[in-house]
Every structure is written in structure tokens, then in C-alpha cells.
Structure 1
């Protein structure tokens, strides 16, 4: 009798893994249900995860969800819909995945079970929403909501990246321009200022600039290599648990952008939790998934505490407020929503408001960053010009 590996949630909301022996997947699911477990993933142990490649683009997945929902709503059977989408898929990875999903569904697995074997293609949120939709008889609606959510998140990421592109370009261009000036242009004045240096009449600013230029000429490549090594080591450290924790902590403390990072993370939490609850996913499982969706370990800890509160039958808002990382308006809206039993609706509305506020705040931050960077660049160039011009004026007045 084959063994099936599984990942499931307990009634308390804890995530557990293990294996069971059963004739087929359906029997394995029945065994887990009998143990009061909520299966997230069940598969033969030797082929539990079938895809470990790079994640498929979110926009591609949004189109897939929307097209699948449209076909099912038009009355096309699931297997036929998967075949049609597989044939139409432009992404070869998605085409391969859909072929595997088609085979699994044909063998008796549900759509959510088949999707769960491809964690790099389908998020936990989408899998759980599809599972809830399949079990509740509203699969088309669940797929449409997943499509809308995925597209909205991709649009938000694109707007954020687009807003930061110009300031990043200014920072890089400014650094290159100033470095080229100091390394290649300033040394040409060394001989010209030799007599002033001998007489001790060379300004301190000019002496410092010439010294810095010589230093960069002699040690510039070494500094670049050291910087690369430090960068690689820092990236490796950032991948550790402690490194990620520190990065997430300081992201929230950044001037101008700290509030943007916080609001984006809180908006993701509210939208994922609200969307899952709206689709009938139990609140403990929804909290577990939305906790990971924040992308910030500081906020994730606060949500984990909130999950423990909910397990004990207490309020969701209290530990979130105690963490100090959630905006007061969000806390108040959650309190009112819990009292009026409209949590899923209010959470989605809160996410909409936060994203609009974040867009305005990000726009303001970018508008402030651009002149600041331009002023810094202009200031550096002006210092170089002054450092070179003052000795020239002294020399010309002495003639």
C-alpha cells in the first residue's frame, strides 16, 4: 500500500507534516479528515513536489486564473478547460504544469490538490481559495477573486518599482559622475597647483580633494573589490533568519520610506485575510497564510500572537494594537468589524484605503527624494569646482 506525504492544519491552526498509508489519495484525505486535520497538500511521497523552478510571473498567473474562471462559467468542463489553456499557454513552464495538473485531476485529484504540488507556481492563498471554492460550489467565483487579487498585487508592485526607478537612476548616475570627475579630471590640476602647494597657499579644500583623488586612483579598485565581497557577505547574511529579521526591522525605521513599507505589508495582510475569509477559509488557516503574505517578520510576529488570541477565543485587534506596528485607523476598523461581524468586508476595504494612502505617500517620498538627490549631486560637483577654482583665481591675481 503506497504512502502519501501530507501537509495539513490542526484545529488549533498549527501547520503539521507527515505521511499516511492509503490505497489512493481520496482514502488518504479521508484518513486525515478522520484525524481532525485540514489537508493543504497530499501526494505520493516520491513525487510530492513536481516543480522547483523559478516562480511564474504573477501577471501570467492572473491571466490563467481569469481564463479558467471564464471557461468554467461558460459551462466548459474542468478537464477540457485545462486542456484548452495548456494549448494556449505561451509560457512553456506553465504549459508543462497544466499538463501535470490535467493528469492529476483526471486521476481523481481535486484542482486544489493538483495545484498544491507546484508551490513555485501557485501560492498558498490561491490553493486555499480554490479548495474552498471547490468544496463550497463556487469555484468560478473563487478563481475570479484569485485573478483579481493577483492582478492587483502585480499592479501595485509595478507602480512601486516605477516610482523608485528615477531616484535610483539619479543615485547611480550621480555617483558615477562624481567618481569620474575626481578620478580622471581632478588629477590634471596636480602640476598646475604644485607651486601654490610649495608656498603653503593651497586651500585645505583643494588639498583634501587632491588627496582623495590620489587615494581613489591608488585604492579605488581594491575598495571596489572589498565592497563587492562585503556586499556578497551581506547578501548571504540577509538570507539567514536573523539577517532577514534585522532587514525587516530597519525597513520599518527608514525615514520617508519606512511608513510606505509598513503600509504595504499591512495592506497585503488585510487583503489576503479578508479575501480568504470571504471565500470560506477558516480564520486560523487564513491567519497562517496572511501572516506569511506580509513579507515582514516583525509584523508576522504580531499576527502570530493575534492568531493565538483568536485560538483562545479573544479579539484579533488587541495584540495587533499592542505590537505598535499597525496604524491606529486599521486597529479601529478591525475592532468595529469584529463587533459587527463584517471582518472580511472591512479588511478588504481597509486594504483598498491603505494602498491608496501608500500610493500618495510613495509619490510624496519620490517627489522629495528627487530634489534631495539632485541637490546632493549638485553640491558634490560644486565642491569640486570650488576646490579647483579658488587656487586658479589666486594664481591669476598673483600674476
Structure 2
């Protein structure tokens, strides 16, 4: 259905501009009259280009701003449709504007916020929707949104730290590969032409390098295009959910990286389950939602198994006690104390902060380890290539 932008005045003469989805223009006018509004103008919105709306995405920053601003405005007494209108008006993301418009239209027709969010599962996961639904049920939506905004901020900061720690190594490796490709494509083919007219017995490494360079130089544009296509394909595949889970599971078995990934998953587990418990969501449903929020398949499976054990009457502590390979004794002890004192949510959130600090320490140690190792690898790669090229040149000069 098309979207219509309208301007209407209330009984006090205050103008309101918004938009709604409807079959035709007359439906919008009838709806506004039913709301006791005086219609000033109604016009159909110009469709957004497909590239801007279709396949759009709500960024993590947009989601944080939405959650935080919505909480602030609701506490200030602004009604929810108006709050969403203000947030959408300030955004520069066309897709985000469209999503907020759809949700606002549902609110104006009596649907709860959680139902509107559930129409966009790609943008709002089960954790987000469940917490909002719990806030609506308890009448504490403003507080739940505030806690949810804090959770999203911490998750965003955690991911940013990990990306930042690996940014330098990735740039270094990409730069090395780029230099190698340029040498193979444009420099080495000229040396190959020089050595082809001689009877020198070239070293094996030199012959291999020259053979690769001849392949690259056969069609430089096609070679570079192939690498670009390969890079794009890798990026697209790595964003697929199943591929991402498989890659995460493979990386999890690398000794140095596994400890970092384990700490990240424990942070996510403790913070998600803690917030769900704080919002009053039952433990079985909380574990089910938490399992969906985890990235590693092994952690997902263990959480689902624990939920099934609890459904059979096993305590939360005992359900995780036998999973010490993934869930250490510390988190099991916290669960035990939380069950006894009734403060499971607070203890889990404190534990999440502890593991987040551990992630920071691990990232610092990892960065100090990776950088020198990469520099050695880069030095060996460039040095090996240089030696493979320089030795034949000396042989050629000696034979003259």
C-alpha cells in the first residue's frame, strides 16, 4: 500500500504533520475525521528509490538512539507515536524512517510497540522484542528501554573494541597482499623477460614466483577484477548467518583466540539473561531467548540443553554445573548464590561487567602479541621475495 503524508489541525488549532499507510487518499481523510482532526492536506509520498529502502538496514547507533530517546521522551510525558515521529524526522536513514512510520501507524491503530517491532525481525531481535513486551506488561516500559539502551551500548562498545584490536593486523595483511599483487603483475614480468634469454638455472622459489607473475601479468585488469570479486564474495558470505556461525566455531578452536571468544560469549550470556530476569521474564523463556542471542553454536547448544534440564526439574546451578568446559565455576557459583538470595539478575549483570573487563585485558595482550608476529611474517615474506629476485640478478651479473 502507498504512504500518504498529511497535515491536520486539532480542536486547539495545533497543526500535526505525519504519514500513514492506506489504500487510497480518501481512507486517510476518513481516518483523520474519525480522530476529530481538521484535514489541511493529504498527498501521496514519492516512493523511495529501491536502493535506499529495499534491503535497508538499521545501524547499531540508530537502534541505540531510538531506544534511549524513546525512554527519555516517554519519561517526559511525550506519547509514543509523537516520540517516534520526532525520532524519525531527525534520522537521515530512509529505511529507518520507513520502519518507524510503520510502527507508529500500528500504535495509532491500537497495536502495542512490541507487535510493531516484531514485524521487523531482521532489525529487532527476540531479546529486544521480549524486553519491550515485558516492559509493556509491567507498566515500566521507560525503565526497561533505559536498561535496554545501556545493554545495546555495552554490546556496541564491546564489538567496537574487538574490531579496533584487529584493525591494524587486517590493514597490515591487506597492504602486504596488495604490494605482492602489484609486484607480481607489473614489476616481475619485466624481470622474467630478461632471464628468459639466459641459460641460468634459477632457484626453485624464483621459478615459482616468476610462474605466478606470468599468470598475473597475462591480463592485469582481469587479475585485479578477480581479486575484487573474490573479496566481495568473502564479505557477502561472511555476513550469512550460517557461514558466520561456522567461521566463529572454527576460530573458537584457535588457542589464543578461543579465550577471547569465550569471554565475549560469557559477557553476552550474563548480560542478556540478567536483563531478561530483571524484566520479569521466566527463566525458561529467558534461557531460550539468550540462546538465540549467542554467536557460538557450542554455547547455544549448552544453553538449550540447560533449559531442557531445568524444564525437567533440575536447578539452574546443576544444569550448568556439568558444562564447565564452557561455563567456568565462577558463573556457576554466581548462579547458585543468585538462586538462594533471589538476586540472580543483579549478580549476572555484575558478572557481565567483570567479563567485559577480562575482554579488555585479553584484547590488550592479544594486540601486543599479534603485532610483532605479523611484522616478522611481513618481513619474512618481503625478504624471501627480495632474495628470490636478487640472487638470480647476481648470478646473471657474474656470468657476464
Per the normalisation by structure 1, the TM-score is: 0.75
Greater relative contact order structure (CA < 8 Å, 6+ sep): 1
Q: Provide the C-alpha distance between the structure 2 equivalents of 1:108 and 1:310, rounded to a whole number of angstroms.
A: 37
Q: Provide the C-alpha distance between the structure 2 equivalents of 1:349 and 1:86, rounded to a whole number of angstroms.
A: 34
Q: Provide the C-alpha distance between the structure 1 equivalents of 2:55 and 2:389, rounded to a whole number of angstroms.
A: 55
Task: Name the Cα RMSD after superposition.
Answer: 3.4
Q: Provide the C-alpha distance between the structure 1 equivalents of 2:227 and 2:87, rounded to a whole number of angstroms.
A: 50
Q: How does 1:338-349 map to 2 (within 5 A)?
A: 338-349=339-350
Q: Provide the C-alpha distance between the structure 1 equivalents of 2:380 and 2:123, rounded to a whole number of angstroms.
A: 48
3-state DSSP class of the match of 1:253?
coil
Q: Which residue of 1 aligns with 2:64?
A: 62
Q: Which residue of 2 aligns with 1:167?
A: 169
3-state DSSP class of the match of 1:256?
helix
Q: Which residue of 1 aligns with 2:308?
A: 308
Segments of structure 1 that go 5 or more residues without pairing to the other structure are 1-50
3-state DSSP class of the match of 2:313?
coil
Q: Provide the C-alpha distance between the structure 2 equivalents of 1:368 and 1:233, rounded to a whole number of angstroms.
A: 26
3-state DSSP class of the match of 2:280?
coil
3-state DSSP class of the match of 1:307?
helix
Deviation (angstroms), 1:310: 1.7
Q: Provide the C-alpha distance between the structure 1 equivalents of 2:237 and 2:69, rounded to a whole number of angstroms.
A: 40
Label 1:283 to 1:54 Cα distance change in 2 as closer, same or farther (>3 A): farther
Q: Provide the C-alpha distance between the structure 1 equivalents of 2:278 and 2:102, rounded to a whole number of angstroms.
A: 29
Question: How many residues were matched structurally?
Answer: 346
1:185 to 187, 190, 198: 187
Q: Which residue of 2 aligns with 1:73?
A: 75
Q: Which residue of 2 aligns with 1:253?
A: 253
Q: Which residue of 1 aligns with 2:386?
A: 385
Q: Which residue of 2 aligns with 1:140?
A: 142
Moved more, 258-267 or 133-142: 258-267
Per the normalisation by structure 2, the TM-score is: 0.74
Task: Check if 1:299 corresponds to 2:303.
Answer: no
Deviation (angstroms), 1:191: 5.4
1:155-188 Cα offsets, whole Å, 9 max, x none, are 2222222222221111111012123223433333
Q: Is the 8 A contact 2:276 2:286 kept in 1?
A: yes
Deviation (angstroms), 1:149: 1.2
Moved more, 205-214 or 367-376: 205-214
Q: Provide the C-alpha distance between the structure 2 equivalents of 1:115 and 1:286, rounded to a whole number of angstroms.
A: 19
1:306-341 Cα offsets, whole Å, 9 max, x none, are 111221221334444434223443333333333433
Q: Which residue of 1 aligns with 2:158?
A: 156
Q: Which residue of 1 aligns with 2:271?
A: 271
Label 1:55 to 1:347 Cα distance change in 2 as closer, same or farther (>3 A): farther
Q: Provide the C-alpha distance between the structure 1 equivalents of 2:54 and 2:297, rounded to a whole number of angstroms.
A: 24
Q: Which residue of 2 aligns with 1:18?
A: none
Label 1:353 to 1:105 Cα distance change in 2 as closer, same or farther (>3 A): same
Moved more, 248-257 or 224-233: 224-233
3-state DSSP class of the match of 2:322?
helix
3-state DSSP class of the match of 1:363?
helix
1:253-294 Cα offsets, whole Å, 9 max, x none, are 124222222221221121111001011111111111111101
Label 1:116 to 1:398 Cα distance change in 2 as closer, same or farther (>3 A): closer
Deviation (angstroms), 1:117: 2.5
Q: Provide the C-alpha distance between the structure 1 equivalents of 2:395 and 2:329, rounded to a whole number of angstroms.
A: 61
Deviation (angstroms), 1:85: 3.4
